[in-house]
Structure 1
Amino acid sequence: MKRVILLGLLALGAVMVLLPFLWMVSVSLKPQEEIFTASARLVPRAPTLANYWQALTQTSIPRYLLNGVIVTGGILVLQVLVSVPCAYALAHRDFRGRGLLFAAILAALLAPFHVTAIPIFLGLARLGWLNSYAALILPFTATAFGLFLLRQAFGRIPGELIDAARVDGLSEMAIAWRIAFPLAMPTVIAFAIFSVTAHWNDLFWPMIATTDPQLATPPRGILFFRDAESGDNPGPLMAGAVLITAPLVLAFLLSQRRFTQGLANTGLKG
Structure 2
Amino acid sequence: MKILAGVVRHIILLTTGSLVLAPFIWMVSLSLKPPAELFSSSFTLLPEHWFAVENYTKALTAAPLPRFMLNGVIVCAAILLLQIIICAPAAYALAKIRFAGREVIFGMVLIGLLIPHQVLALPLLILCYWLGILNTYAALIFPFVVSPFGIFLLRQFFTSIPDDIIHAARLDGLSELSIVWRIMLPMSLPAVIAFSIVSVVSHWNDLFWPLLVVQTQDFMPPSLGIVTFANAEAGNDYGPLMAGATLVVAPLVICFFAAQRWFIDGLTAGSVK
Task: Assess if the C-alpha contact under 8 Å between 1:87 and 1:151 holds in 2.
Answer: yes
Q: Aligned letter for 1:94?
A: R
Task: Please give the residue correspondences for 1:97-112 in structure 2 after superposition, counting only pairs within 5 Å.
Answer: 97-112=101-116
1:261 maps onto 2:268 in alignment: no
Normalized against structure 2, the TM-score is what? 0.94
RMSD (Å) for aligned C-alpha atoms: 1.5
Aligned 8 A contact 1:59 1:229 in 2:
no
Match of 1:146 among 150, 156, 159: 150
2:214 aligns with one of 201, 210, 213: 210
2:22 aligned partner: 19
Equivalent residue, structure 2, for 1:115: 119
- 1:230 offset after TM fit, Å? 7.8
Q: For residues 250 and 204 of structure 1, what CA distance do their matches in structure 2 show?
A: 24
Within the candidate set 189, 197, 202, 1:185 is matched to 189
**Distance apart, 1:212 and its partner CA:** 1.3
Which segment drifts farther, 200-209 or 9-18? 9-18
The unaligned stretches of length 5 or more in structure 1 are: none
Instruction: Identify unmatched segments of 5+ residues in structure 2.
Output: none
Comparing 175-184 with 30-39, greater Cα deviation is found at 30-39
Show the counterpart of 1:32. Answer: 35
Cα distance in 2, alignment partners of residues 228 and 215 from structure 1 = 22
Percent identity for Structure 1 against Structure 2: 48
| Cα distance in 2 between the residues matched to 1:218 and 1:227 | 17
How far has the Cα of 1:100 moved from its partner? 0.9
Shift of 1:155: 0.8
Among candidates 118, 124, 132, match of residue 128 of structure 1: 132
1:9 to 8, 12, 16: 12
Q: Tell me the amino acid that sits aligned with residue 35 of structure 1.
A: L
Q: Deviations over 1:180-214 (max 9, x none)?
A: 01001100100011101111111110011111122
The answer to whether the 8 A contact 2:230-2:236 is kept is no
Give, in whole Å, the separation in 2 of the partners of 1:213 and 1:179: 42
Q: CA deviation at 1:38?
A: 2.6
Report the residue type matching 2:120 in the other structure.
Answer: T
**Bigger mean CA deviation after superposition, 7-16 or 132-141:** 7-16
Aligned positions, number: 268
Change (3 A) 1:230 1:77: farther
Of 43, 61, 65, which residue of structure 2 is paired with 1:57? 61
Deviates further, 38-47 or 205-214: 38-47
| Aligned residue identity for 2:40 | T
TM-score by length of 1: 0.95
Deviation of 1:50 after TM superposition, in Å, equals: 1.6
User: How big is the shift at 1:118?
Assistant: 1.0
Deviates more, 1:245-254 or 1:223-232: 223-232
Q: How far apart are the structure 2 equivalents of 1:105 and 1:96?
A: 16
User: Contact 2:230/2:237 (CA < 8 Å) preserved in 1?
Assistant: no
Q: Structure 1 residues 23 and 149 mapped into 2: Cα distance closer, same or farther (>3 Å)?
A: same
Question: Is 1:41 aligned to residue 44 of structure 2?
Answer: yes
Note if 1:252 corresponds to 2:256: yes
Q: How far, CA to CA, are the matches of 1:222 and 1:5 in structure 2? A: 40
| Separation (CA, whole Å) in 2 of partners of 1:261 and 1:37 | 44
CA distance, structure 2, for counterparts of residue 143 and residue 233 of structure 1: 37
Q: Would you say the 8 A contact 1:230–1:236 is kept in 2?
A: no
Q: Alpha-carbon deviation of 1:36?
A: 3.6
Structure 1 stretch displaced more, 63-72 or 51-60: 51-60
- Taking the aligned partners of 1:120 and 1:78, their CA distance within structure 2 comes to 18
